[in-house]
Structure 1
Amino acid sequence: MTDSSESRPDTPLVLGRRHVLIGGAMLAASGLALARMPSAQAAPIAKDRFDSWVPDIVGPWSFASVSGVVLPPPDALSDRLYDNIIARVYEAAELPAIMLMIAYNNIQDGVLQVHRPEICYPVGGYELSPTRQYELSLGNRALPANVFTASGPNRIEQILYWTRLGDAFPRTWIEQRLAVARANVAGRIPDGVLVRLSLLGNDPGGAMPLLERFTRSFLDASPPPLRRILIG
């Protein structure tokens, strides 16, 4: 009489049709997920190469120094946010000096996204006016931008800036996050740039025409690779 508790010899595993279908579906899903993983749209740019694209002469303005420009706070996060940061002051006879900052990174995902100037200035002790939407006139197109006034202990600064993420020009954090999400759904990780221009003075209305004039002259003086980064 055979004891039912005795171990039986191993038998070959037979896969039923249901197991085959489930395994095939899981494999297909894994392949689809891998195929749809977002990929970077732009390659990193070496610092020396990026710097060489930035013009020294911009209309009547000339590159004068790198001091005096408010920069993102020097923390680990900002170091990861930007591959390339340009900070310059341009001067011209009988015209206000223009301060320029360009911050670029070839990857903008859901974790790393460009700082907005409304974060940087308060860290430096500035009080800010409400941010206003602004249409930056570039001749044949209007670029979505923002403007605000930053008042510090020793100076008042009028700021104009825009951000580009892939093909989008978001004006708010929410628009910025949506731009990244839409690009990711389309299988892309967009590059991103923050362009900020400013001058000293307490007249916002008088500052904007000068900042627009500088912007148009800067784009005209920039090589095509830099123009593509700045305005797409």
Structure 2
Amino acid sequence: MSAIPPDAAARPVPAAARIPRFSIYTAIMGLLVMMAAAACAWLATPRLQAMSNAPSLDAVVPKTFGDWRVVADSTTQVDVAQGVETVQEQPYDQTVMRTYANSRGDMIMLALAWGERQRQDVKVHRPEVCYPAQGFAVRQIGSGHAISTEARATPIPTTQILTEARGGGFEAVRYWIRIGNMYGGDGLQARWYILQEGFKGRIPDGVLVRVSQRLAKADDAPASQALMESFLQDMVAAVPATSRGLLVR
């Protein structure tokens, strides 16, 4: 047997010998984590659509109902988009922009925007984002009275806003957003709902139902909100029952 050189302890240890023994275990665990993440992504990839062959919003929402009828109006409505998206980023497949008037001369602007496929990065825009992007300041925002309709057993939760135009004057806004069967909620809740639907193999549709009225002074907002609430109730009731699923569900 050969003797161990006296300076063996002082010799440098080769780099390969210094690799921690747990490195292979760590690599295997990392690979398993990546495989699990890939499996989750595959499971979350929707393979069905929530709604296809949807009816035309322009056709199913009447131009005349109750005491309201569509009128020509030169007022430019606030766009339902934020104004910064590319065509690919627009969440809507159908939009309707109209102005209605009643026998007393009250005028209400209606904006409807429906998208067949709501995704994490492309979904219905909230008016409190769109209005400031187009020159309005949000002065008040809060929950509006839930709107009762024949189409739903429970009232529809809504949001009401008072905005001020850059050039003067105000605009009262009332709206709801439906994504799939979910109403209201913030952006995080919408993302979570869309993710849950994805795990079930569904891509939810989404709609913005918005009405607004131009006002000379902010004090007119309460009466305006009451009028818009009545308008929305009458409008939903006037839509054929077979097509109401676009607006309420």
TM-score (normalizing by structure 2): 0.73
The offset of 1:178, in angstroms, is 2.0
Q: Distance in 2 between matches of 1:225 and 1:199?
A: 29
Structure 2 residue 102 is matched with structure 1 residue 92? yes
Question: Where in structure 1 are there 5+ consecutive unaligned residues?
Answer: 1-28
Q: Distance in 2 between matches of 1:124 and 1:198?
A: 15
Q: Distance in 1 between matches of 2:41 and 2:91?
A: 27
Structure 2 residue 176 is matched with structure 1 residue 168? no
The offset of 1:221, in angstroms, is 1.1
Deviations 1:35-78 (A, max 9, x none): 763132111547xx332112011211101136432112444446
> Which of 232, 243, 249 in structure 2 is aligned with 1:226?
243
Q: Distance in 2 between matches of 1:31 and 1:136?
A: 41
Q: 1:42 aligns to what?
A: 51
Superposition map of 1:113-192 within 5 A: 113-139=123-149, 141-152=154-165, 153-192=167-206
> Which of 55, 66, 82 in structure 2 is aligned with 1:59?
66
Q: 2:27 aligns to what?
A: none
> Are the structure 2 counterparts of residues 171 and 131 from structure 1 closer, same or farther at C-alpha, using a change threshold of 3 Å?
farther
Q: 1:19 aligns to what?
A: none
Computed over aligned residues only, the root mean square deviation of the Cα atoms, in angstroms, reads: 2.7
Instruction: Work out which of the two has the higher radius of gyration on C-alpha atoms and give 1 or 2.
Output: 2
Q: 1:70 aligns to what?
A: 78
Superposition map of 1:101-116 within 5 A: 101-116=111-126
> Are the structure 2 counterparts of residues 33 and 118 from structure 1 closer, same or farther at C-alpha, using a change threshold of 3 Å?
closer
Q: 1:15 aligns to what?
A: none
Tell me whether 143-152 or 221-230 shows the greater mean CA deviation.
221-230
Regions of 4+ moved over 6 Å:
29-33
Tell me whether 118-127 or 33-42 shows the greater mean CA deviation.
33-42
**Could you say what secondary structure the match of 2:71 adopts?**
strand
The offset of 1:207, in angstroms, is 1.5
> Are the structure 2 counterparts of residues 35 and 150 from structure 1 closer, same or farther at C-alpha, using a change threshold of 3 Å?
closer
**Could you say what secondary structure the match of 1:65 adopts?**
coil
Q: For residue 121 of structure 1, what is the amino acid of its counterpart?
A: Y
Tell me whether 130-139 or 166-175 shows the greater mean CA deviation.
130-139
Question: Where in structure 2 are there 5+ consecutive unaligned residues?
Answer: 1-36
Q: Distance in 2 between matches of 1:171 and 1:157?
A: 23
> Are the structure 2 counterparts of residues 185 and 92 from structure 1 closer, same or farther at C-alpha, using a change threshold of 3 Å?
same
Tell me whether 89-98 or 172-181 shows the greater mean CA deviation.
172-181
Pairs aligned (count): 205
Q: Distance in 1 between matches of 2:78 and 2:134?
A: 8
